[in-house]
Amino acid sequence: MGTPDDILMALGTVQDPDLHRDLVTLGMIEDVVVDGGRVSFTVVLTTAACPLKAEIEADCRAAVSAVPGVQDIAIRTISRMRKPKDPTADRKALPGVAQVIAIGSGKGGVGKSTVSANLAVALAQTGAKVGLLDGDIYGPNLPRMLGVRRQPSQRDGKIMPVEAWGIHFMSMGLLVDQGEAVVWRGPMLHGAIKSFLHDVDWGELDYLLVDLPPGTGDVQLSLIQQTFVAGAAIVTTPSTVAIEDAVKAIAMFGKLNVPVLGVIENMSYFICPSCNARHEIFGSGTGEARALAMGLPFLGAIPLHPDVRITGDEGRPAVISSPDTEYARALTAIAGHLAQRISIQTVGAPQPAPASQS
C-alpha cells in the first residue's frame, strides 16, 4: 500500500509544462492524504487562467496511478497567485494586487483598448480576480467598450471601482461628462495616475491590467514610477508603421526595466464571410516575425472582424457576446498565454513542499 511519501515521490516526476520543474519542488502539491486505496491531494496552480490545467491534472493522475495499491484518485485544483519577489522601494506594490500588467502600443489605432477590455474579461472568466485601469486620461474609451457610465462611489476615503463583466474597472471617463475634453499638463496626468493606483480600493486582485495611451510619454512614466509593474504586453497590427512604433514602445519598457511579456498582433487578417477567403489587409505575420527577432514571445494573432468593433461600441466584449467565434477564441487564448508568461516570470527559487498528511 502506498504512503504519502510514495505519492509525493510519484508527483515529483510530473513537471509543470511552462516552468520545466517538478510540481513538488515548485510547492504546487498540498494536502496529500492516503486512505486505503484512495489518494487525494491538491494541485496549486500559479494562476486560475492556466491553459494547461487539464494537462497537469492528467499527468498527476497518470503518475499516481502507477503507485502500487492506488485504486482511486481525487484531485482538487486551486490557484494561488504569487506576488513579485522584489518590488523596489520606490515602486511600491499595490496592497492586495498580485500582478500589475501594462498593455501598451507605440501608436494609436491598433485596437489596444479593445484588446485590453477583452483580455481582462477573458482572464476573469477563468476565475481570476481582475481589475482594469483605463490609463488613457485624454481619450478614455473603455467605459463605452464595457457599457459602463455610472460614477464610482466612495467608501472610507477610497474610490470604489465600478463592477463590469466580472472585473473591477476605473477610468477618467467615469468622472467627466461624456464628450468633455480633459486638457491637462504632465503634472496633472501624473496626479491622476497616482490617484487611480493608490486612492482606489482595488481589493484583492490577481491581475490589474492598465490600458496605456499610445506612445511613450507621461502616463507610461507615471505608472512605472508609482508602482511595481510585473510586465507589459505590446499590441500592434502587421503594418510597417505600427511595427516600427511598437519597437519604440518595447525599447521604452526596456529602459525602464519593465519586462516585455510578449507581442499581440491585432487585425492580423480578415476572413471574407462570402467566399471564406483569407485577406491579409495590413500584411502578414510581421508582428510575430519582429517579436521572435527581438527574442520576445508572440502571444497570438487576432483576426479583423466587424463584430469586434460592433460589440465594443455596444459595450459587450467579444469574449462575452460571441465566445465561439474565431476572434473571441483568439483573445481567450492570448489571455491564457499572458497568464503563462506572468507565471513563468514570477516563480523564482523552488519552494519546499508542505508536509504530507496520512
Cα–Cα distances (Å) from 256 to 204, 228, 250, in that order, read: 26, 11, 10
Residue 229 in grid coordinates: 509593474
Chain segment 306-332, per-residue pLDDT in tens: 888 899 999 999 999 999 999 999 999
Counting Cα atoms < 13 Å in the Cβ hemisphere of 266 gives 26
The CATH number linked to 171 is: 3.40.50.300
pTM exceeds 0.75 for this model: yes
Indicate the length of the chain as a whole number.
Answer: 358
Q: Quick check: is 90 in a domain?
A: no
**DSSP codes of every residue in 123-161:** HHHTT--EEEEE--SSS--HHHHHT--PPP-EETTEEPP
Q: Which of the residue ranges 147-161, 174-188, 208-222, 344-358 would you say has the lowest mean pLDDT?
A: 344-358
Residues 133, 236 share a domain = yes
Supply the mean pLDDT for the chain.
87
Residues 274, 218 share a domain = yes
Which of 79, 112, 127 marks a domain boundary? 79
pLDDT band, residue 350 (cuts 50/70/90) = very low
Please indicate whether residue 95 or residue 202 has the higher confidence score (pLDDT): 202
Q: Quick check: is 302 in a domain?
A: yes
Residues 311, 265 share a domain = yes
Q: What is the pLDDT of residue 51?
A: 84
Residues 55, 162 share a domain = no
Q: Position 344: which residue type?
A: I
Residue 122 and residue 154: Cα distance in Å, rounded? 27
Chain segment 149-170, per-residue pLDDT in tens: 888 999 999 999 999 999 999 9
The CATH number linked to 70 is: 3.30.300.130
Residues 166, 22 share a domain = no
Strand (E) positions, the chain? 29-35, 38-45, 72-79, 97-104, 130-134, 154-155, 158-159, 162-164, 167-171, 205-211, 231-236, 260-265, 270-271, 278-279, 298-301
Residues 341, 201 share a domain = yes
Residue 205 and residue 23: Cα distance in Å, rounded? 24
In this model, does residue 353 exceed pLDDT 60? no
Residues 300, 187 share a domain = yes
Contact 227, 197 (CB under 8 A): yes
Residues 265, 190 share a domain = yes
Residues 313, 236 share a domain = yes
Q: What is the pLDDT of residue 47?
A: 87
Q: Quick check: is 357 in a domain?
A: no
Strand, helix or coil at 232?
A: strand
Q: Quick check: is 358 in a domain?
A: no
Q: What is the pLDDT of residue 290?
A: 84
The strand pair at 97-104 and 205-211 is best described as parallel
Residue 337 and residue 122: Cα distance in Å, rounded? 12
Kindly state the average pLDDT of the residues 42-63.
92
Residues 113, 148 share a domain = yes
**DSSP codes of every residue in 15-61:** BPTTT-SBTTTTT-EEEEEEETTEEEEEEEES-TT-TTHHHHHHHHH
pLDDT band, residue 283 (cuts 50/70/90) = confident
- The phi and psi torsions of 318 (rounded to 5 degrees) equal -60, -35
Tally the domains of the chain. Answer: 2
Q: Which of the residue ranges 104-108, 116-120, 325-329 would you say has the lowest mean pLDDT?
A: 104-108
Q: Quick check: is 103 in a domain?
A: yes
Report the b/e string of 165-198 with b at 16+ CB within 10 A.
bebbbbbbbbbeeeeeebeeeeeebbebbeebbe
Which of 27, 45, 79 marks a domain boundary? 79
Q: What is the pLDDT of residue 354?
A: 41
High-pLDDT (> 70) share of the chain, %? 91
Q: Quick check: is 91 in a domain?
A: no
Q: Quick check: is 294 in a domain?
A: yes
Residue 213 and residue 140: Cα distance in Å, rounded? 9
Chain segment 60-105, per-residue pLDDT in tens: 999 999 999 999 999 999 988 877 665 554 456 788 899 999 999 9
Residues 155, 38 share a domain = no
Which of 51, 79, 107 marks a domain boundary? 79
Kindly state the average pLDDT of the residues 42-61.
92
In this model, does residue 231 exceed pLDDT 80? yes
In this model, does residue 115 exceed pLDDT 90? yes
Q: Quick check: is 85 in a domain?
A: no
Residues 111, 73 share a domain = no
* Most confidently predicted of 38-42, 77-81, 220-224: 38-42
- Residue 42: give the domain boundaries: 4-79
